[in-house]
């Protein structure tokens, strides 16, 4: 996810935007080199050179070489959670998550080649795949915490804006966990479906359709050839 949310862009300043760009360049360089040579054969020196930065700069962003392969945009989760917390109170939690995630996926049609390479790299290196899954599970838990915080703040209640409290209730209830898990599955299904049928619809339309089906309670579709 490489598209920066409006609030982050406006509030982060030039320095923060440069930092995000450097991290993205390092991650992309790592993925492309790993896709060509295999992750185990890619060195920190090679990644840094491909991104046009020093090895010292690499370690300003990643604790280890393996970390550069795990997630394409490690800051996206923070932006999504912030957007969920500050979404209009009239939106349901699922709608708030939908809009927050959609803002991060604006560039998916331009970035899908890199995403595909990333998936290939992870599947070719099981130890990286396991670590990536762990990172995504942590992201999902943090998203559930944002949903719980929004609910605790009285989202949808007049005069009480979502996200006015910082600390999520603990332990997490079933509903926030389910919303976060559904959102993760919706993103994966949307990307996979669109990648296999790019000529039929724009990604944004597929993404919105997925959430529309979820919001409607996943009604059973009519049988092929059935009369309306």
**Least-confidence region, from 10-24, 132-146, 192-206:** 10-24
- SS3 sequence, 45-80? HHHHHHHCCCHHHHHHHCCCCCHHHHCCCCCHHHHH
Q: Where are the domains of the chain?
A: 6-215
Identify the band that residue 12 occupies on the pLDDT scale cut at 50, 70 and 90: low
Q: How far is CA 167 from CA 28, 36, 151, in A?
A: 34, 44, 12
Closest by Cα among 70, 75, 63 to 21: 75
Its pTM stands at: 0.79
Average pLDDT of span 25-36 = 96
Inter-helix orientation angle 108-124/174-196, to 10°: 100
- pLDDT by residue (tens digit) across 59-91? 999 999 999 999 888 888 999 999 999 999 999
Per-residue confidence (pLDDT) for residue 227, from 0 to 100:
57
Is the CATH code 1.10.357.10 the one for domain 6-215? yes
Cα-Cα-Cα-Cα dihedral of 107, 109, 111, 116, to 10°?
140
Residue 37 has pLDDT above 80, yes or no: yes
Note the residue count of the chain. Answer: 228
Identify the band that residue 36 occupies on the pLDDT scale cut at 50, 70 and 90: very high
Closest by Cα among 142, 157, 160 to 100: 142
- pLDDT by residue (tens digit) across 133-189? 999 999 999 999 999 999 998 744 433 444 444 455 568 999 999 999 999 999 989
Identify the band that residue 197 occupies on the pLDDT scale cut at 50, 70 and 90: confident
CB-based contact 115:69 (threshold 8 Å): no
């Amino acid at each position: 996810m490489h598209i920066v949310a409006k609030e982050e862009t406006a509030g982060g300043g030039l320095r923060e935007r440069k930092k995000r760009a450097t991290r993205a360049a390092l991650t992309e360089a790592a993925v492309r080199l790993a896709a060509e040579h295999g992750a185990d054969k890619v060195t920190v020196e090679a990644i840094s050179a491909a991104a046009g930065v020093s090895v010292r700069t690499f370690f300003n962003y990643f604790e280890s070489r393996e970390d550069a392969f795990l997630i394409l945009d490690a800051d996206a989760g923070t932006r999504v959670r912030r957007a969920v917390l500050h979404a209009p109170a009239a939106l349901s939690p699922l709608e708030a998550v939908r809009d927050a995630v959609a803002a991060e996926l604006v560039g998916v049609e331009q970035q899908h080649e890199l995403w595909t390479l990333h998936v290939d790299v992870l599947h070719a290196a099981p130890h990286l795949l396991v670590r990536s899954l762990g990172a995504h599970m942590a992201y999902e838990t943090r998203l559930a915490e944002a949903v719980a915080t929004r609910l605790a703040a009285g989202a949808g209640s007049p005069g009480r804006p979502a996200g006015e409290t910082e600390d999520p209730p603990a332990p997490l209830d079933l509903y926030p966990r389910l919303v976060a898990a559904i959102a993760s599955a919706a993103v994966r299904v949307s990307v996979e479906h669109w990648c296999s049928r790019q000529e039929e619809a724009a990604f944004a339309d597929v993404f919105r359709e997925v959430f529309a089906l979820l919001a409607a309670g996943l009604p059973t579709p009519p049988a092929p050839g059935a009369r309306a």
